[in-house]
A = this chain, B = another copy of it.
């Protein structure tokens, strides 16, 4: 059982696979829980899944505006709320942006986001050690933790080697 469950995606990989897999898992999860993945929510999740860099709400509004069925900002926000609540997407607090959850972890997992300042890509990793220390720190402070926000900005390996500035779709 590896400590890390994921790393940075390669910039040239096939997004179609991520998108279809993410949507498939979302459909299934919603079905099980008896909540509805409406067309709008599906389209928002689709937009998120097509990017491994976090998208701002208005980035999505813009994407939808260019498509056949635009949606007002408020509706996009609500769809994002839904997706985050259902664990299908994450909110990146330090960027006020959102990210599709690409590898469905169980709720309760401790997730750490590494944000590359240059290419914008995000690695979503789970660390058991981090979770243990977090619990330990909370215990020492008599604190009962609920929603951990663990985000680190920096440079991904690829951007450190090459000086290239290539944004991921």
Contacts and interface: CB of A to CB of B under 8 A. Distances in A.
B147 A123 contact: no
Interface in A107-164: 112, 114, 116-117, 123, 125, 127, 129-130, 133-134, 136-138, 140-157, 160
A121 to B, nearest CB: 10
Interface residues of A, number: 39
B151 A138 contact: no
A130 B141 CA distance: 15
Return the 7 tightest CB-CB contacts between A and B, nearest first: A142-B157, A145-B154, A93-B93, A146-B154, A129-B133, A149-B151, A93-B94
15 contacts: A3-B136, A4-B140, A7-B141, A114-B138, A114-B141, A127-B136, A129-B133, A129-B137, A130-B134, A130-B137, A141-B156, A145-B152, A146-B153, A148-B151, A149-B152
